[in-house]
A and B are shown apart, each in its own frame.
Chain A
Amino acid sequence: VKRLVVLVLALAVGAGACSRDSAKQSKGPETTVSSAATGASQTSAAPDVGPVTDADVTEVDQTLHRLDSELDRLDSDMATGEGEVQ
């Protein structure tokens, strides 16, 4: 009887451990999706600490290039009339 009780307890402990591992695994992808959805990857790739290099300014230049194309589109928008509707 003692052996049976020990066996049952061992099985119960093992099953609990498996259950916890399973729960951790099932939460893994959810966390990954969540962090991607927040747009975290859109933040600056360069660290905000340490010596400043030209690479840090180049990153700003890329934003300015995007800005230029949007400003050009604004010019284009403002040159457009309403057109014919009837």
Chain B
Amino acid sequence: VTGALRRALAVAAIVAVTGPGAIGVGAAPAGAQQVRLEASKKVAAAAITRRVLALRELTTAAKSIVRLSEADRSALTTQLQDQVNGLSSLNAKIQGDTDEATVRADAGRIVTDYRVYVLTIPKARGVVVSDIELNAADRLTKLADRLAKAVDQATGKDTTKAKTDLASLRARLASATSTVTPLPAALLALQAAGYPGNHTTLEQTRTSLRTGRAALAEAATLARQVIADLK
């Protein structure tokens, strides 16, 4: 009994001097909690920084849009900037949070409120790709118009094949343009709150962009064919 009493007194003395956490009794010490809190804040800040950098890269790409309407271009850059602003504000809040539970809840909002990687970036990229495809379609349309003049002016030649190939070229361009034209508006309407339901729209858009690209490649091949037909 004396030995047990002595050990109990020794433990009580250590607890009194160092606090309960030092020997694994009771809750974690304030110092350890603070370390964990700061570590969580750093992880959240890094997650936000990565997203902001990615959004800024897409903003630069969005500014190079040449074929879409000014309204579409402006809508995209505004949406990207809104996310940058929102994430920056969220980071400020997180860095001011005083307990781990709040940091965890706010860190979760980095994903749920913005969906940067799974929605915003593919959506912005899709708009930029739409612009490139429509721009390529415009260029090929100008070529088709010039080829049509060349066919009309090719006197003394059989232009039957050239006319057929030119008609095919125009059909491919019409297909590409009609496929791609509605995509920017559909993409710009996608919001983080609609995820994951709206992910289907993203997938469909990607498929349409691939279809548009294939039609444009065929149109370019046909343009070369018409040039050859006229030689």
Instruction: List A residues at the B interface (Cβ < 8 Å).
Output: 39, 42, 44, 48-54, 56-57, 59-61, 63-64, 66-68, 70-71, 73-75, 77-78, 80-86
Contact = CB atoms under 8 A, between A and B. Distances in A.
A77 B213 CA distance: 18
Given A78-B122, A80-B118, A86-B104, A52 B147 contact: yes
Contacts of A68: 213
19 contacts: A44-B139, A52-B147, A52-B227, A54-B224, A60-B136, A60-B139, A64-B213, A67-B216, A70-B128, A74-B125, A74-B126, A78-B206, A81-B118, A83-B117, A84-B47, A85-B43, A85-B44, A86-B43, A86-B104
B212 to A, nearest CB: 9
B52 interface: no
B79 interface: no
Nearest to B105: A86
A79 to B, nearest CB: 10
Interface residues of B, number: 46
A86 B107 contact: yes
A50 B146 CA distance: 8
Interface in B125-141: 125-126, 128-129, 132-133, 135-136, 139-140
B118 A82 contact: yes
A36 B175 CA distance: 35
Nearest to A42: B66
A48 B142 contact: yes
Nearest to B48: A85
A51 B150 contact: yes
Contact of A74 (B117, B142, B209): B209
A64 B143 contact: no
B28 interface: no
Contacts of A82: 111, 115-118
